[in-house]
Amino acid sequence: MLAKEHINGNFIGQYRLLRDYIEELMRTNPYTTVKLELKECSDPTSETRHIKRIYVCLRSLKKGFKAIGRDLLGLDGAFLKSAWPGQLLTAVSLDPNSGYYPVAYVVVEDETMNSWEWFLECLGDDLYLNKRSKFTFMSDRQKGLIQAVDKLFPSAEHRFCVRHTEYNLRTLFKGKLYRDALRKMAKCTTPTHYEREMNNLKKLNKRTHLWVSKIPPESWSRSHFTSRGMSDVLTNNMCECFNSKLVDGRDKPITTLLECIREYVMRNIVNVLKVIDRSSGLLTPYATQMMESMKKEASRYSVHWNSEDHYQEMRDNWDTYQTCGGKYLGEGCT
């Protein structure tokens, strides 16, 4: 126990040195944002204060996120496993190669509307977000988080992770059929396709259909997504992947935890730069792979004009075709 404390540091001692750590972090990383919130003290003459929350947005992460230009952020929380209870909240985006890109993180006392509101206010200041910002957030359906986003960014698009929605569905309606139906609706690309799958679910189970219909489709189905976030992701994997890399640090004292995150982020940036150096062509490796897949699929289709303002799209095996004009007539119409 003493050896572990010697390596990782003392919990109480690190809280006493936290201000020194913050000053050193900002000195070595200019334009990094660190915000500290203290608990209210009943004794104004006391020389000590209790730390409530700390927010960190490293300059390199802030600069990189703005350079990416994708107005999409995943939000998630993870429990700290140390002797001092708390939560680690993270904001993570996607880089041009669809890999996770951490933007900011905060250690708070608990995952509540108040703590999420404080985190989002700090984040909004760093990323120049306001009530009129047309941003896209991805998260689970945590009530406090939903309320905080609605309050601070009422114009934002708030998507819910389909995996979490699926988990909530399983607690009420057992069976693989319902899970598969939910996934089909989430992957629909047009409102007509979505409505058809909703009708199929209604025939399967009216109670399940009623439960699903209470969730706005624009928050979880591709058929109703806007193009704001420049991504059609359905899950919050970006946050979950990042949080999984921080497991070893979540049982450490406060400054050791913050250093674990900073060092991991630094290594991750270097690894991404190595991938960029090895890449060739105008697109990222993932985008190149997706483009080749779409080209292969597109080669199976042909388009026939009817000499006016309609056309017919046909597949090489004739199993699907559409006639497109003033109304939608089938799947996959472009």
Find out whether 161 and 139 touch, Cβ atoms under 8 Å.
yes
> What is the pLDDT at residue 72?
95
Chain centroid offset of residue 250 CA: 20
> What is the pLDDT at residue 60?
94
> What is the pLDDT at residue 163?
93
Mean per-residue pLDDT of the chain: 88
> What is the pLDDT at residue 81?
85
- The span from the CA of 102 to the CA of 31, in Å, is 17
> What is the pLDDT at residue 153?
96
- End-to-end C-alpha distance for the chain, whole angstroms: 64
Question: Is the sign of the CA dihedral 303, 305, 306, 311 positive or negative?
Answer: positive
> What is the pLDDT at residue 132?
92
Domain ranges of the chain: 2-161+235-277, 174-230, 285-317
Cβ neighbour number for residue 135 with a 10 Å cutoff: 19
pTM score = 0.84
Q: Where are the beta strands (DSSP E) in 231-316?
A: 301-305, 311-315
Which residues of the chain are modeled with pLDDT < 70?
1-9, 316-334
> What is the pLDDT at residue 310?
83
Cβ neighbour number for residue 165 with a 10 Å cutoff: 20
